[in-house]
């Protein structure tokens, strides 16, 4: 668990962070979101002491971070950043093995761990282990950055706009992979982004910052339903909120079970997956100009139907 109590950071006389209090529970994915310069990166870097806080307390599992040596603390936490920070003259495998090497793991254990992580992140070891960072695409380099952050199996992962420089499709893929990894690894993650759509998709809890302060924190649903003020509302996209809400809700929540007597008559309807979002369902209805869809299970079997009027039941 990470706790920030009335934490501030002053650069000269300027408050980059101004008395924020925040608790991130173990296993929680907490996203800090806000416009440029609001203090997100400074907050993240205070947690691993790349930046020292000026006032307040930061605790990891109840212990003040100042009681740890800074380097020791950083080795206990994964850190992934937008520019990846990979060493350009080191191979992918050597980059991933950095922290285990610093922790003096045996070469055999490091090799085993590097191979395991490359497989976990979808980087075929035989193809990528010996490549140099310059030979990687942006998406592959980010995967290496995340693998390196996970190398020593830290409980805490700090991620600063890790997918910020990627094209939208690669970015979506890596977001999906982070969610898949998180459902398996249950790390305590603090993730910084300026992109509210990314925050809504990834977060268990979103913390909205403005001018060094926290203006609201809550689940994606809470923010969408009850934005604290106009600033939060504008970050959420104002009138677009209905679509964003639909993007967070699964088809399964509103579908009607399939009536076997009607199955044949509905067999020609366009299909949507039970785990797809209502936003996708709406898009399919608009595209196919139809008012209902057949809902299929993961293995493609029809399990229900979803009607246009059902979608209106998501309204708050
Ligand atoms: N080393 C520094 N020295 C002086 N001022 C700094 C320093 N680092 C950050 N700041 C200032 O602190 C404020 C918060 O910066 P920070 O990088 O935390 O914002 P951010 O929300 O992460 O922004 P961005 O999304 O643009 O990265 C800004 O006004 C910035 O100019």
Complex ipTM value: 0.94
pLDDT digits (tens, 9 = 90+) for 81-128: 887 789 999 999 999 999 999 889 999 999 999 999 999 888 999 999
Residue 263 predicted with pLDDT over 80? no
Residue 70 predicted with pLDDT over 60? yes
Task: Output the pTM of the full model.
Answer: 0.86
Lowest mean pLDDT among 27-31, 212-216, 307-311: 307-311
Cα–Cα distance measured from residue 48 to residue 70, given in angstroms and rounded to the nearest whole number: 7
Classify strands 156-160 and 77-81 as parallel, antiparallel or unpaired: parallel
Residue 265 predicted with pLDDT over 80? no
Tokens 């962070």 -> residue: 17
Among the atoms of ligand 1, which is closest to the Cα of residue 209? 21
Residue 165 predicted with pLDDT over 90? no
| Residue 315 confidence class, pLDDT cut points 50, 70, 90 | low
Stretch 30-38: mean pLDDT: 93
Whether residue 42 has its Cβ less than 6 Å from ligand 1: yes
Residue 282 predicted with pLDDT over 70? yes
pLDDT at 218: 95
pLDDT at 148: 92
Residue 235 predicted with pLDDT over 80? yes
Cα–Cα distance measured from residue 275 to residue 297, given in angstroms and rounded to the nearest whole number: 8
Whether residue 39 has its Cβ less than 6 Å from ligand 1: yes
CA-nearest residue for atom 13, ligand 1, is: 16
pLDDT at 111: 94
Among the atoms of ligand 1, which is closest to the Cα of residue 51? 1
| 60, 66 Cβ separation under 8 angstroms | no
Cα–Cα distance measured from residue 128 to residue 109, given in angstroms and rounded to the nearest whole number: 19
Instruction: Enter the tokens of residue 143.
Output: 């995967």
Whether residue 74 has its Cβ less than 6 Å from ligand 1: no
Among the atoms of ligand 1, which is closest to the Cα of residue 9? 12
Among the atoms of ligand 1, which is closest to the Cα of residue 42? 18
Residue 40 predicted with pLDDT over 70? yes
Residue 314 predicted with pLDDT over 70? no
Whether residue 52 has its Cβ less than 6 Å from ligand 1: no
Whether residue 45 has its Cβ less than 6 Å from ligand 1: no
% of the chain residues with pLDDT over 70: 99
Stretch 62-70: mean pLDDT: 92
Among the atoms of ligand 1, which is closest to the Cα of residue 32? 21
- Rounded to the nearest angstrom, the distance between the alpha carbon of 89 and the centre of ligand 1 is 29
pLDDT at 132: 95
Stretch 178-202: mean pLDDT: 92
pLDDT at 60: 94
pLDDT at 42: 96
Among the atoms of ligand 1, which is closest to the Cα of residue 41? 22
Lowest mean pLDDT among 1-5, 29-33, 73-77, 195-199: 73-77
- Rounded to the nearest angstrom, the distance between the alpha carbon of 17 and the centre of ligand 1 is 9
Highest-pLDDT range among 25-39, 141-155, 300-314: 25-39
Nearest to 255 by CA among 266, 265, 244: 266
Average pLDDT score, the chain: 91
Kindly list the structural domains of the chain, giving each domain's residue range(s) and its CATH number in brackets, ordered by start: 2-245 (3.40.50.300), 249-314 (3.10.580.10)
- Rounded to the nearest angstrom, the distance between the alpha carbon of 316 and the centre of ligand 1 is 37
CA-nearest residue for atom 31, ligand 1, is: 37
Whether residue 13 has its Cβ less than 6 Å from ligand 1: no
Write down the H helix ranges in the chain: 40-47, 70-75, 92-96, 98-102, 107-120, 125-128, 138-150, 168-185, 196-202, 220-225, 230-235, 241-248, 278-288, 308-311
| 195, 168 Cβ separation under 8 angstroms | no
The DSSP result for 119-154, as a single string, is: HHTT--HHHHTT--GGGS-HHHHHHHHHHHHHTT--
Residue 264 predicted with pLDDT over 80? no
- Rounded to the nearest angstrom, the distance between the alpha carbon of 39 and the centre of ligand 1 is 6
Stretch 30-39: mean pLDDT: 94
Stretch 169-189: mean pLDDT: 88
CA-nearest residue for atom 14, ligand 1, is: 39
Whether residue 40 has its Cβ less than 6 Å from ligand 1: yes
């Amino acid at each position: 668990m990470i706790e920030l109590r009335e934490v501030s950071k002053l650069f000269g006389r300027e408050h980059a962070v101004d008395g924020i209090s925040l608790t991130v529970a173990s296993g929680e994915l907490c996203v800090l979101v806000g416009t440029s310069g609001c203090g997100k990166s400074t907050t993240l870097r205070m947690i691993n002491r790349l930046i020292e806080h000026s006032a307040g307390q930061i605790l990891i599992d109840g212990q003040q971070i100042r009681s740890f040596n800074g380097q020791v603390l950083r080795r206990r936490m994964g850190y992934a950043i937008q520019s990846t920070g990979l060493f350009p003259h080191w191979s992918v495998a050597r980059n991933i093995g950095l922290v285990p090497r610093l922790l003096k793991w045996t070469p055999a254990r490091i090799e085993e761990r590097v191979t395991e992580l490359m497989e976990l992140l979808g980087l075929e070891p035989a193809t990528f282990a010996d490549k140099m960072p310059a030979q990687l695409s942006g998406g592959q380099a980010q995967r290496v950055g995340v693998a390196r952050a996970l190398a020593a199996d830290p409980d805490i992962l700090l991620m600063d706009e890790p997918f910020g420089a990627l094209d939208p499709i690669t970015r979506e893929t890596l977001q999906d992979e982070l969610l898949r990894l998180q459902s398996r690894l249950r790390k305590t993650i603090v993730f910084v982004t300026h992109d509210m759509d990314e925050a809504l998709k990834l977060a268990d809890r979103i913390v909205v910052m403005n001018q060094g302060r926290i203006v609201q924190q809550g689940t994606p649903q809470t923010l969408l339903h009850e934005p604290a003020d106009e600033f939060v509302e504008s970050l959420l996209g104002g009138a677009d909120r209905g679509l964003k809400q639909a993007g967070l809700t699964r088809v399964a929540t509103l579908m009607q079970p399939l009536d076997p007597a009607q199955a044949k008559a509905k067999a020609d309807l366009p299909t949507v997956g039970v785990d797809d979002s209502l936003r996708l369902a709406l898009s399919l209805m608009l595209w196919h100009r139809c008012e209902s869809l057949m809902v299929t299970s993961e293995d493609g079997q029809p399990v229900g139907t979803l009607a246009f009027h059902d979608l209106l039941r998501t309204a708050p």
